[in-house]
Structure 1
Amino acid sequence: MNKKTFYIISGFILFAALSRLLPHAYNFTPLGAIVLFGAAYFKNKKWALIVPIIALWVSDLLLNNIMYSSYYEGFAWFTGGFLYIYGSIALIAVLGYYLMKKVSLARVVGGAVGASVIFFVVSNFGVWITSPLYPLSIEGLIACYTAAIPFFHNTLGGNLVYSGVLFGAYEWMKVQYPSLQPVESQV
């Protein structure tokens, strides 16, 4: 569709990604919501993946090099567990491609729950594979997932809250400004 709509949707995504710089509970972030939002409103699927990844990477750069700079030597281009975190983003995008073809409350809630589960499974698998804390055995994998359970509710809460804000605000804007329609053409 038009560039204005593309930039508004991209702006929503970037704004949500930058909200990670605000104080928040551990794992209470918009990661899954951002990807689902992109999948719902960018009809060109390449933008539905590219824009959220760039927005999240920019927020990672700011977090790693400003807020968490003491954990890195030099400039940190990528966060620890980058492959697993961004791998989960790609899987959430696939979920969003299929689930968010039509936006509804049930689909947004289902997507937020699904995104939370995907992130939990993939990112903690990455912790198990890369961390010396857990033996590379079934017992170690179970211990890793068990240790991560207390953080799951924040992931779920963040995805639900941010999905509500992103989807709710955009749907409200579409009612106020009918020219805002899903982006179908390449920009």
Structure 2
Amino acid sequence: MRDKKTTDLVIFGLLVAIGVAGRWGQPDWCVTPIAAVTLLAGYWFGRPAVAAVVPLLVMLISDLALDGYQNFGVMALVYLAMAAPAVLGVWLRTGDGVGWWAKLVTCSLIPATVFWLTSNFAVWAWSTQPYYEKTLGGLLQCYTMAVPFFGRMMAGDLAFTLVLFGAMLMAGAGRVVKSRVAT
């Protein structure tokens, strides 16, 4: 029992460290490993509440060195969107084989979509700067202007997810998760 707790603590710490380092060193805006570490946390720990702590810590720690948010509403929706993939990671624990890989790719693409929809709505609705008119046209303009970020985020989420899950499976840790599901 003690080994499992130690392993879980190490995995938790590594996921937070990877997320923070990736967010601080992002090669391009919106290309970070946060969705990937959150998916892996949900997959590894199997409890969304525990897994959701990983991206929340990543965001809190990395925000210490990054620009702040315009207001609490925008920040809250961004944090919520970053924690959402934890549920998808738990769902990944079910299934195996080719179908599992299709689920993994799907789960890696959903977080960018959720983030794009929620964060841009928040910026449009609660921005203190007059970036976009508070009309349907202004909302559509906000979403349109964010499409390049959305594409980069989606590509980054997919790449980081494949790297992290691939590394876990190559290390044989996938068997550990499957044995936890059986017990």
Q: More relative contact order in 1 or in 2 (CA 8 Å, sep 6+)?
A: 1
Amino acid at match of 1:116: A
Q: Which has the higher helix share?
A: 2
Distance in 2 (alpha carbons) for counterparts of 1:158 and 1:141: 25
- More displaced, 165-174 or 3-12? 3-12
Question: Displacement of 1:182 after TM fit?
Answer: 6.6
SS at match of 1:139: helix
* CA distance in structure 1 between the aligned counterparts of 2:72 and 2:179, rounded to whole angstroms: 30
Q: Deviations over 1:102-157 (max 9, x none)?
A: 46321221011111111111111111112221112211110100010111111011
Aligned length: 172
| Distance in 2 separating the partners of 1:15 and 1:166 | 13
- Any stretches of 5+ residues in structure 2 without a counterpart? none
Q: In the alignment, which residue of structure 1 is the partner of 2:109?
A: 113
Question: Which residue of 1 is the match for residue 160 of structure 2?
Answer: 162
> Are 1:87 and 2:80 an aligned pair?
yes
Matched, 1:56 2:59: yes
Check if 1:46 corresponds to 2:44: no
What corresponds to 2:119 in structure 1? 123
TM-score by length of 2: 0.80
* One-letter code aligned to 2:17: F
1:137 equivalent in alignment to 2:135: yes
Residue in structure 2 matching 1:30, options 33, 39, 45: 33
- Report percent identity of matched pairs: 30
Correspondent of 1:151 among 129, 149, 152: 149
Letter in 2 for 1:34: V
Tell me the residue number matched to 1:15. Answer: 17
Cα deviation digits, residues 66-107 of structure 1 (max 9, x gap) = xx5xxx6xxx9x999311211212333333333453463212
**Partners of 2:26 and 2:73 in 1: how far apart?**
20
Query: In 2, are the aligned partners of 1:39 and 1:93 still within 8 Å (CA)?
Result: yes
Query: What 5-or-longer segments of structure 1 have no aligned partner?
Result: none
Note closer, same or farther for the CA distance 1:6–1:148 as it changes in structure 2 (3 Å cut): same
Q: CA RMSD in A?
A: 2.8
Look up the equivalent residue of 1:95 and give its one-letter code: L
